[in-house]
Amino acid sequence: MEKNLIISENESIVAVGDRVKMISNGKGLAWGSDSYLLAARLRRGKRACELGCGTGVVTLLAAAFDKFNHVTALEVEPESAALAERNVVLNSFSDKVTVKNIDIREAHPKDLGGEFDCVFSNPPYFAHPGPESPDSIRQSARHEIHGGISDFCAAAARLLRYGGTFVCVYRPDRLVDLFEAMRAAKLEPKKMCTVYADTNSKPAFVLVEAKSGGAPLLEFEPPLFLYTDEIVNPRIRTERIEKIYEKTSFDV
C-alpha cells in the first residue's frame, strides 16, 4: 500500500481472490459472480476501456491477471470514481490503470488516447429508474439513470477500433434489447454464454461478446453452472467455476 493512501474509520479493506484488495464503505453495489466472470471472459490485448467501472473491481481483476497493457476505467459517479482511483493505488496499479470521472455518453477516443482493442462493461440492468433510494450510487449502478443499454453500446462502438471486441454481462430477460442495441451500433454479437445458479434454476445472466464490424454469426457456448445441486449452506461451487475463479479465465 502506498504511504499516502488513507482509509477512513467507516471503511474496510476486503480481499477479492488472492490478487486484489478493495476498499469497502458499504455504499453502491457489492461485486458478485457477474463481475468475476466478466473479468474472466476478457482476453489478452493492449488497450482496454471499461464503461461504468463503479469502484473498479473488474478493471482491477483485469490488471491483476495481466489481461491488458493498460485499462482506462470510466465512471460517472464522482464518489465511485474517487474510490476506484484509491483502489488502483491500494493495489499499486497506477501504471496499468487510469480512472476517468466522465459520462460514458460523452466518451470519445480523442480524449482517451485513441481507440481501444477491447471495451467491457457490466451496465445497469434495469430500464426503469426504480423507487427512490437513499443510496443514490447503488441506484445509479442498477438503473439506467446515466444512459441505457443503447448508450453503452454506442459508446463501445465509438471507442473500439475496427475489429475490436465488446464484452458485456447482462440480464437474460433483456437480451433482445442488448442485441438490438449492439446491431444498431454495428457491434455484431459473436459469442454468448448463459450462466445459471444450478441445473434447477432459470438463467441468472449472460456473457456476450460482440465484434466491431463483424459478420453475422452467433456461437452459443455450453451453459455454465455456478453451484452443484446439493442443498447445503454454504453452497458448493462447481469444479469448472472453481477453476475459472482461480485463473480468472475461461481457458481452463
Res. 38: pLDDT tops 60: yes
Three-class DSSP category at 104:
helix
Res. 13: pLDDT tops 60: yes
Q: Are strands 160-170 and 20-24 parallel, antiparallel or unpaired?
A: unpaired
Q: At what angle do helices 57-64 and 33-41 cross, to 10 degrees?
A: 40
Angular region, 135: left φ>0, alpha ψ -120 to 50, beta rest: beta
Angle at 31 between CA 225 and CA 181, to 5 degrees: 75
Domain 32-247 top-level CATH class: alpha beta
Supply the DSSP string of 198-232, one letter for each residue. Answer: STTS-EEEEEEEEEETPPS--EEPPPEESB-S---
- The whole-angstrom separation of Cα 112 and Cα 136 is 27
* pLDDT, position 1: 46
* pLDDT, position 219: 98
Q: How many CA atoms lie within 13 A of 191 on its CB side?
A: 14
What value does the mean pLDDT take over residues 209-221? 97
Res. 128: pLDDT tops 70: no
Q: Provide CB contacts within 8 A for 71, sequence distance 6+.
A: 47, 48, 49, 50, 59, 62, 63, 96, 97, 98
pLDDT, one tens digit per residue, over 220-230 is 999 999 999 99
CA torsion sign for 59, 169, 218, 181 is: negative
The model's pTM is 0.90
Res. 73: pLDDT tops 90: yes
* pLDDT, position 141: 46
Name which of 132-136, 177-181, 198-202 the model is least confident about. Answer: 132-136
The DSSP output letter for 193 is E
**Residue 244 has which C-alpha cell?**
475459472
Q: What is the mean pLDDT of the chain?
A: 91
